[in-house]
Structure 1
Amino acid sequence: MASEDKKEHVQEFKLDPDSELRFEVESKGEKVFLILKAGFAEVFGTELVKGKQYEFTAGAKIAVFSWQGCTVELKGKTDVSYVARETPMVIYCNCHAALEDMRCDAEKENKRGPIAMLVGPCDVGKSTVCRILLNYAVRMGRRPLFVDLDVGQGQISVPGTIGALLIERPASLDEGFSQEAPLVYNFGHKTPQLNSTLFNMLFTQLANSVKEKIETNKKTKASGVIINTCGWVKGEGYKHLIQAAKAFEVDVILVLDQERLYNELVRDMPNFIKVVFLPKSGGVVERSQSARAESRDQRIREYFYGTPKNSAYPHSFDIKWSEIKIFKIGGPALPDSCLPLGMKAEDHLTKVVALTPNPGMLHHLLAVSYATKEDEELILSHVAGFVCVTNIDTERQILTLLSPQPKPLPNNLLVLSELQFMDSH
Structure 2
Amino acid sequence: MSNQEDQKTDIQEFKLEADQELRFEVESKSEKVYLSLKSGLAEVFGTEIVKGKLYEFTAGAKIAVFTWHGCVLEIRGKTDVIYVAKETPMVVYSNCHAALEFMRNEAEKENCKGPTVMVVGPCDVGKSTVSRILLNYAVREGRRPIYVDLDSGQGQISIPGTVGALLIERPASIDEGFAQEAPLIYHFGHKSHEKNTALFSILTTQLANNIKDKLEVNKRARASGIVINTCGWIKGEGYKQLLNNTKVFEVDIILVLDQERLYNELVRDVPDFVKVIFLQKSGGVVERSKSARAEARDQRIREYFYGTLRSSLYPHSFDMKWSELKIYKIGAPAIPDSCLPLGMKPKDHMTKLVLLSPNLGLLHHILAVSFCESGEDDIIKTHVAGFVCVTNVDIDRQLITLLSPQPKPLPNNILIMSDLQFMDSH
Fold agreement, TM-score > 0.5: yes
**Residues 1:55 and 2:28 aligned together:** no
**Residues 1:369 and 2:380 aligned together:** no
Give the secondary structure class of the aligned counterpart of 2:380: helix
Give the secondary structure class of the aligned counterpart of 1:349: helix
Shift of 1:79: 0.3
Give the secondary structure class of the aligned counterpart of 2:246: helix
Shift of 1:207: 0.5
Larger mean Cα displacement after TM superposition, 22-31 or 191-200:
22-31
CA distance in 2, matches of 1:248, 1:343: 28
Pairing of 1:13-412 with structure 2 (within 5 A): 13-412=14-413
Q: TM-score, normalised by structure 1?
A: 0.98
CA distance in 1, matches of 2:10, 2:77: 5
1:113 maps to a residue whose letter is G
1:70 maps to a residue whose letter is C
Aligned length: 423
CA distance in 1, matches of 2:307, 2:97: 31
Q: Is the 8 A contact 2:365 2:422 kept in 1?
A: yes
Shift of 1:339: 2.1
Q: Is the 8 A contact 2:328 2:354 kept in 1?
A: yes
Identity across aligned pairs (percent)? 72
Shift of 1:376: 2.3
Q: Is the 8 A contact 1:369 1:415 kept in 2?
A: yes
Q: Is the 8 A contact 1:256 1:278 kept in 2?
A: yes
Shift of 1:357: 2.1
Shift of 1:374: 3.7
Q: Is the 8 A contact 1:326 1:357 kept in 2?
A: no
Q: Is the 8 A contact 1:32 1:57 kept in 2?
A: yes
CA distance in 2, matches of 1:138, 1:7: 35
Shift of 1:8: 6.2
2:44 maps to a residue whose letter is V
Q: TM-score, normalised by structure 2?
A: 0.98
CA distance in 2, matches of 1:371, 1:216: 23
CA distance in 1, matches of 2:57, 2:119: 27
Shift of 1:214: 1.0
CA distance in 1, matches of 2:117, 2:225: 8
Please list the CA deviations of residues 96-132 of structure 1 after superposition, one character each: whole Å capped at 9, or x if unmatched: 0000000000001111100000000000000000000
Shift of 1:27: 2.9
CA distance in 1, matches of 2:9, 2:175: 23
Structure 2 CA distance for partners of 1:276 and 1:363, relative to 1, 3 Å? same
Give the secondary structure class of the aligned counterpart of 2:379: helix
Please list the CA deviations of residues 40-70 of structure 1 after superposition, one character each: whole Å capped at 9, or x if unmatched: 0000000001111110011200000000000
CA distance in 1, matches of 2:27, 2:351: 43
Q: Is the 8 A contact 2:33 2:58 kept in 1?
A: yes
Q: Which runs of 4+ in 1 moved over 3 A?
A: none
1:19 maps to a residue whose letter is Q
CA distance in 1, matches of 2:219, 2:358: 46
Please list the CA deviations of residues 363-413 of structure 1 after superposition, one character each: whole Å capped at 9, or x if unmatched: 000000011234220110000000000000111100000000110000001
Which runs of 5 or more residues in structure 2 are unaligned?
Answer: none
Q: Is the 8 A contact 1:316 1:401 kept in 2?
A: yes
CA distance in 1, matches of 2:28, 2:347: 43
Give the secondary structure class of the aligned counterpart of 2:234: coil
Give the secondary structure class of the aligned counterpart of 1:78: coil
Shift of 1:9: 1.1
2:27 maps to a residue whose letter is E
Tell me how large the CA RMSD over aligned residues is: 1.3
Q: Is the 8 A contact 1:29 1:77 kept in 2?
A: no
Shift of 1:7: 10
1:100 maps to a residue whose letter is E
1:302 maps to a residue whose letter is E
Q: Is the 8 A contact 2:315 2:403 kept in 1?
A: yes
Shift of 1:287: 0.4
Q: Is the 8 A contact 1:214 1:221 kept in 2?
A: yes
CA distance in 1, matches of 2:71, 2:210: 43
2:94 maps to a residue whose letter is C
Q: Is the 8 A contact 1:145 1:166 kept in 2?
A: yes
Q: Is the 8 A contact 2:8 2:78 kept in 1?
A: no
CA distance in 1, matches of 2:345, 2:59: 49
Q: Is the 8 A contact 2:153 2:191 kept in 1?
A: yes
Q: Is the 8 A contact 1:25 1:56 kept in 2?
A: yes
Structure 2 CA distance for partners of 1:8 and 1:254, relative to 1, 3 Å? closer
Larger mean Cα displacement after TM superposition, 184-193 or 332-341:
332-341
1:273 maps to a residue whose letter is V
Structure 2 CA distance for partners of 1:128 and 1:8, relative to 1, 3 Å? closer
Larger mean Cα displacement after TM superposition, 387-396 or 23-32:
23-32
Q: Is the 8 A contact 2:20 2:87 kept in 1?
A: yes
CA distance in 2, matches of 1:410, 1:342: 36
CA distance in 1, matches of 2:176, 2:54: 15
